[in-house]
């Protein structure tokens, strides 16, 4: 069978504020890691013909997507669903069915399928859903369809039969992820993937683990069991990119430094095998050790990215982040001493934010922390999270918003916010204040100008700055 895996558009998804939606195309492009693992498994373990189409990276419109489908003539199209962008996924399904009526349409997405399997399969354009980690289930589904054998024996999938949903077996879960083939990077437009705060050159993106052992109250990550790829596997994927002239890397999973010892071991090999690369990673500030940071810097690490979310220890405790503000400040100071940049993420509109001043205090803490880059986000209360359940219990959040959205998605639906203390409009205003307050400081602009290394680097930084300026004529206001 011919299968096309499409990284679905994300133009019309649900959001908490329309101002952030205007920036969505200016935050860089990263490859669809999940789809690339599916493709890699199909290429190695089946005889099906596989093609990948990254609509986002290639900036394709509906007509161009239609042309690619007509050209390839797939028997099945598959995509990963993220609940806030389900409208886009459904529009893709309808486009596929219009263009190739006999083509099957299959969706995956572990957390989405756990929460909204029934609502998703309610739509007649969607033929199959893959539950859990989908590499094995998708391969078995394609084999069964190709041979015309019973689908009832294919574990980890769901489909409709006589008006009922059939779900054979448990959802997919791969205990030893090292048995998986490497992602099918060769099927993707690697020259299109660049970090929004990198050099502007093509960037290799690598996932080194699955799962997360933490239980932050705002997070909807589907697995609490942490599983890591071997060091040899990680370095092999780096070599794939390096041999193709790509010398900038991002380790994309949230837990790259969960074991500082592992980072040291990988860095030792990088120093010998890849002496002229630069790289960054997403990790935890409380797991940064001096030995790790020194070795990472020597191996080419130029940036560490931390999800901090809150600016007070009592707030961090309330959201179960299991980190302290001192750990963050100490890690940033260590990175600054070594010449490693830091980027930090923050959430506004948490239940602990009882006034605008609380959010302005968060912005001030971010500025004074010494971090080089920030990303501020208004809280999205994802279904199934502790915060969402608390909001339902307190009658702050509607209990069936996400169910109704998946059943009847509309473009640019507004996601409910935690408005116990601050309205959506106030949070949107404060989001702008935070961004401008951080990035439009004269000292910051001068420092950024001195960092420019090339024209492409300048263009990347300028695009980000213009995006922030595009928020409009807002300036910081002191809280009443």
pLDDT digits (tens, 9 = 90+) for 27-73: 567 899 999 999 999 999 999 999 999 999 999 999 999 999 999 99
**What are 166's strand-pairing partners?**
159
The reported pLDDT for the residue numbered 461 is 65
Residue 341 burial (CB count, 10 A):
18
Q: What is the CATH number of the domain that holds 230?
A: 3.80.30.20
CA angle at 382 for the pair 464 and 469, rounded to the nearest 5°: 20
Residue 423, CB-side half-sphere exposure with 13 Å CA sphere: 3
The reported pLDDT for the residue numbered 463 is 64
CA-closest candidate to residue 100, choices 69, 67, 136: 69
**174-213 in b/e burial notation, b at 16+ Cβ within 10 A?**
beebeebebbbbebbebebbbbbbbbbbbbbbbbbbbbbe
Residue 145 confidence class, pLDDT cut points 50, 70, 90: very high
Spatial separation of the C-alpha atoms in residues 406 and 403, rounded to whole Å: 5
Looking at the predicted structure, is the pLDDT value of residue 89 above 90?
yes
Contact 402, 115 (CB under 8 A): yes
More confident residue, 123 or 459: 123
Looking at the predicted structure, is the pLDDT value of residue 161 above 90?
yes
pLDDT digits (tens, 9 = 90+) for 216-244: 999 998 767 899 999 999 999 999 999 99
**What average pLDDT does the segment 364-391 reach?**
97
DSSP class of residue 59 equals T
Note down the domain range covering 113. Answer: 2-166
> Has residue 343 been placed in a domain?
yes
> Whole-number mean pLDDT of the chain?
92
Spatial separation of the C-alpha atoms in residues 348 and 354, rounded to whole Å: 11
161 and 257 together in one domain: no
128 and 202 together in one domain: no
> Has residue 31 been placed in a domain?
yes
**What average pLDDT does the segment 110-119 reach?**
97
43 and 135 together in one domain: yes
> Has residue 197 been placed in a domain?
yes
214 and 102 together in one domain: no
**What average pLDDT does the segment 119-134 reach?**
98
CA-closest candidate to residue 455, choices 247, 199, 210, 238: 199
The reported pLDDT for the residue numbered 197 is 66
pTM of the predicted structure, to 2 decimals: 0.92
Looking at the predicted structure, is the pLDDT value of residue 21 above 90?
no
CA angle at 460 for the pair 458 and 466, rounded to the nearest 5°: 95
Residue 420, CB-side half-sphere exposure with 13 Å CA sphere: 18
The reported pLDDT for the residue numbered 314 is 98
241 and 304 together in one domain: yes
269 and 338 together in one domain: yes
> Has residue 404 been placed in a domain?
no
216 and 336 together in one domain: yes
CA-closest candidate to residue 251, choices 275, 229, 226: 229
Radius of gyration (C-alpha) of the chain in whole angstroms: 23
> Has residue 468 been placed in a domain?
no
DSSP class of residue 398 equals -
Spatial separation of the C-alpha atoms in residues 211 and 411, rounded to whole Å: 31
Work out how many domains the chain is built from and give that number. 2
> Has residue 410 been placed in a domain?
no
Contacts for 355 with CB less than 8 Å, ≥ 6 apart: 421, 422, 479
306 and 442 together in one domain: yes
Q: What is the CATH number of the domain that holds 68?
A: 3.40.50.280
135 and 209 together in one domain: no
Contact 54, 31 (CB under 8 A): yes
Contact 180, 41 (CB under 8 A): yes
78 and 203 together in one domain: no
> Has residue 470 been placed in a domain?
no
375 and 269 together in one domain: yes
24 and 160 together in one domain: yes
pLDDT digits (tens, 9 = 90+) for 430-456: 999 999 999 999 999 998 888 776 666
Cα dihedral angle (401, 403, 405, 409), rounded to 10 degrees?
Answer: -170
In 293-451, beta strands by DSSP E: 301-309, 341-348, 373-378
DSSP string, 318-335: HTT----HHHHHHHHHHH
More confident residue, 447 or 86: 86
More confident residue, 463 or 265: 265
> Has residue 149 been placed in a domain?
yes
The reported pLDDT for the residue numbered 25 is 46
pLDDT digits (tens, 9 = 90+) for 263-294: 999 999 999 999 999 999 999 999 999 999 99
CA-closest candidate to residue 21, choices 388, 476, 456, 380: 380
In 86-133, beta strands by DSSP E: 104-108, 128-130
């Amino acid at each position: 069978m011919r299968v096309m895996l499409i990284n679905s558009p994300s133009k019309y998804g649900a959001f908490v504020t329309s101002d952030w939606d205007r920036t969505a195309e200016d935050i860089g492009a990263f490859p669809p890691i999940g789809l690339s693992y599916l493709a890699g498994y199909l290429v190695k373990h089946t005889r099906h013909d596989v093609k990948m189409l990254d609509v986002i990276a290639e900036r394709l419109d509906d007509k161009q997507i239609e042309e690619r489908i007509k050209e390839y003539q797939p028997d099945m199209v598959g995509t990963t669903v993220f609940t806030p962008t389900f409208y886009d996924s459904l529009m893709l399904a309808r486009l596929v069915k219009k263009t190739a009526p006999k083509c099957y349409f299959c969706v995956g997405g572990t957390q989405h399928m756990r929460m909204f399997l029934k609502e998703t399969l309610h739509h007649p354009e969607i033929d199959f859903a893959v539950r859990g980690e989908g590499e094995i289930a998708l391969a078995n589904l394609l084999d069964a369809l190709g041979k015309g054998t019973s689908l009832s024996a294919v574990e980890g999938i769901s489909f409709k039969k006589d008006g009922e949903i059939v779900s054979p077996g448990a959802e997919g879960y791969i205990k030893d992820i090292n048995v998986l083939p490497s992602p099918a990077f060769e099927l993707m437009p690697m020259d299109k993937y660049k970090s929004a705060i990198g050099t502007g050159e093509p960037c290799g993106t690598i996932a080194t683990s699955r799962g997360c052992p933490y239980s932050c109250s705002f997070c909807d990550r589907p697995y609490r069991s942490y599983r890591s790829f071997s060091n040899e596997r990680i370095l092999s994927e780096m070599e794939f990119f390096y041999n193709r002239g790509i010398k900038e890397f991002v380790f994309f999973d949230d837990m790259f430094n969960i074991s500082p010892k592992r980072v040291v071991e990988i860095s030792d090999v990088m120093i010998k095998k890849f002496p002229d690369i630069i790289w960054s990673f997403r990790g935890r500030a409380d797991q940064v050790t001096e030995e790790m940071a020194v070795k990472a810097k020597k191996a080419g690490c130029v940036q560490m990215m931390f999800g901090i979310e809150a600016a007070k220890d009592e707030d961090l405790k309330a959201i179960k982040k299991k980190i302290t503000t001192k750990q963050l400040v100490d890690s940033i100071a260590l990175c600054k001493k070594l010449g490693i940049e830091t980027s930090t993420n923050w959430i506004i509109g948490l239940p602990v934010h009882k006034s605008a001043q609380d959010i302005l205090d968060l912005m001030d803490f971010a500025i004074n922390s010494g971090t080089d880059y920030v990303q501020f986000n208004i809280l999205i209360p994802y279904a199934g999270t502790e915060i969402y359940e608390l909001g339902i219990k307190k009658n702050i959040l509607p209990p069936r918003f996400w169910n109704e959205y998946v059943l009847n998605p509309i473009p640019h639906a507004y996601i409910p916010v935690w408005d116990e203390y601050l309205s959506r409009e106030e949070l949107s205003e404060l989001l702008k204040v935070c961004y401008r307050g951080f990035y439009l400081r004269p000292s910051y602009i001068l420092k950024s100008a001195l960092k420019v290394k090339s024209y492409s680097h300048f263009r990347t930084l300028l695009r980000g700055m213009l995006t922030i300026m595009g928020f409009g004529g807002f300036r910081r206001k002191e809280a009443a």
